[in-house]
């Protein structure tokens, strides 16, 4: 079945049996199955990340990330998942833009090892290949390998979609870069494993929701408090995993980037709050071809304002939750010298990196 001109596929994939342990404090429900929308076809890395983060979930494949977000407003999905950065390429700014343009909150993060395979229709030999198709991030992560193989690159929406394209069009001179799972799912041959240019290739995905995560789980402790130290000792004894809460914010400011960065660092360091990410985006209006970052004004009380353009933006992640007074104080301080602050959400830090099982 399809809705709104068939843009959103309504096929819900069943939960994936996984030998990976779910991440701490992963979202779970005993009554309703959680539905996670992702951009791509079944077998995409995002789908695997969703099922690793929330093992009992069903997944909703969507043609674009906008469709995945629409599925939240249409109540077809409870969450959407988005790859936001990788160890090989840093922040995927385009995906962050999606997040900033919508009234969404981060409720969980998940880190996944990404192994790429070269897949082709059975019978196709490496010598037959002229072109390779895949998600732009996959093509970038395999840049050196593809240059060595002398293949033309063609970006498509997602890795599993590339596999579908091979099959739908019976492309006999083209390969796709996708996961071993996609190879199994679609019955393609794996011509090469481990195509990524660096063996340590981890992608960080964010799980997004219409509502902020107000999880007051007792296992969750704010770092750097006596409770954290005590919980740490207890966990070490019982082999438990401590869950550290993280918060992501976006700060926009006018000019004088260095001074703003120093003030932001001081707001966190003076309160003993550990930063895990600081990324500065400067999109000067005068600079040709660069558009300012568009950010939707959304507050934790759910009120949303207008979409505003900012040329200078800082993405900051730090350890600590919005329930911690030091975090609230730091954000208050930052609000005094920046033109705009948006809180993207507090969620549990993922201490693991999950692997696809071949």
Residues within the interface to ligand PPY (CB under 6 A) = 40, 44-46, 83, 114, 135, 137-138, 158-160, 203
In the bound complex, what is the minimum distance in angstroms from residue 132's beta carbon to ligand PPY? Answer: 14
Residues in the chain: 358
HEC string of 241-301 equals: CCEEEEEEEEEEECCCHHHHHHHHHHHHHCCCCCEEEEEEEECCCCCCCCCCEEEEEECCC
User: Cβ of residue 135: shortest distance to ligand PPY, in angstroms?
Assistant: 4
CB atoms closer than 10 angstroms to residue 306 = 7
Closest CA to 53 of 349, 300, 321, 357: 349
Smallest gap from Cβ 307 to ligand PPY, in A, equals 25
User: Residue holding tokens 């040709």?
Assistant: 288
* List of residues 6+ apart from 182 with CB closer than 8 A: 43, 44, 119, 159, 160, 163, 176, 188
Give the start-end residues of each E strand in 35-104.
35-39, 58-62, 79-86, 90-91
For the CB of residue 136, give the shortest distance to ligand PPY in the complex, in Å.
8
* Smallest separation (angstroms) from ligand PPY to the CB of 196: 9
DSSP string, 129-159: --EEEE-HHHHHHTHHHHHHHT-EEEE-S-H
For ligand PPY, the closer CB: 59 or 159: 159
Phi and psi for 159 in degrees, rounded to 5?
-70, -45
Residue 136 or 232 having the CB closest to ligand PPY = 136
* Shortest distance (Å) from residue 156 CB to ligand PPY: 9
Taking the least distance from each CB to ligand PPY, the nearer of 88 and 220 is 88
Question: In the complex with ligand PPY, which residue's Cβ is closer, 83 or 311?
Answer: 83
For ligand PPY, the closer CB: 22 or 83 = 83
Nearer to ligand PPY, 120 or 273 (CB): 120
**Looking at beta carbons only, is 45 or 347 nearer to ligand PPY?**
45
DSSP letters, 27-43, are: ---SSS--EEEEESSTT
Q: Smallest distance from the beta carbon of 311 to ligand PPY, in angstroms?
A: 28
Cα separation of 268 and 277, whole Å? 12
Residue 137 or 264: the one with the smaller Cβ distance to ligand PPY is 137
- Compute CA 347 distance to the chain's CA centroid, rounded to the nearest angstrom: 13
Question: In degrees to the nearest 10, what's the CA dihedral of 325, 327, 333, 337?
Answer: -160
> Cβ of residue 250: shortest distance to ligand PPY, in angstroms?
22
């Amino acid at each position: 079945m399809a809705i709104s001109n068939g843009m959103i596929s309504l096929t819900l994939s069943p939960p994936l049996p996984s030998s990976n342990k779910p991440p701490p404090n992963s979202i779970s429900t005993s009554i309703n199955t959680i539905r996670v929308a992702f951009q791509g076809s079944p077998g995409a890395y995002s789908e695997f990340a969703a099922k690793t983060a929330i093992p009992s979930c069903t997944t909703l494949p969507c043609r674009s990330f906008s469709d995945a977000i629409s599925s939240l407003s249409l109540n077809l999905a409870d969450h959407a998942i988005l790859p936001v950065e990788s160890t090989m390429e840093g922040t995927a700014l385009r995906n962050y833009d999606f997040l900033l343009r919508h009234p969404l909150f981060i409720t969980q993060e998940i880190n996944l090892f990404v192994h790429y395979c070269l897949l082709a229709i059975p019978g196709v030999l490496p010598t037959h290949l002229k072109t390779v198709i895949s998600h732009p991030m996959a093509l970038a992560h395999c840049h050196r390998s593809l240059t060595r193989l002398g293949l033309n690159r063609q970006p498509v929406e997602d890795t599993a979609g590339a596999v579908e394209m091979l099959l739908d069009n019976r492309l006999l001179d083209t390969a796709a870069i996708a996961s071993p799972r996609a190879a199994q799912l679609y019955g393609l041959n794996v011509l090469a494993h481990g195509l990524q240019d660096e063996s340590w290739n981890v992608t960080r995905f964010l799980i997004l929701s219409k509502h902020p995560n107000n999880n007051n789980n007792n296992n969750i402790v704010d770092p750097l408090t006596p409770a954290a130290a005590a919980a740490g000792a207890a966990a070490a004894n019982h082999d438990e995993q401590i869950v550290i809460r993280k918060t992501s914010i976006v700060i926009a400011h006018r000019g004088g980037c260095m001074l703003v960065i120093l003030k932001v660092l001081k707001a966190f360091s003076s309160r003993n709050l550990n930063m895990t990410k600081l990324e500065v985006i400067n999109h000067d209006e005068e600079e040709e071809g660069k558009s300012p970052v568009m950010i939707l004004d959304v507050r934790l009380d759910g009120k949303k304002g207008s979409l505003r353009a900012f040329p200078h933006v800082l993405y900051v992640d730090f350890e600590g939750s919005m329930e911690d007074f030091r975090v609230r104080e730091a954000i208050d301080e930052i609000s005094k010298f920046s033109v705009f602050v948006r809180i993207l959400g507090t969620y549990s830090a993922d201490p693991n990196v999950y692997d696809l099982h071949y």
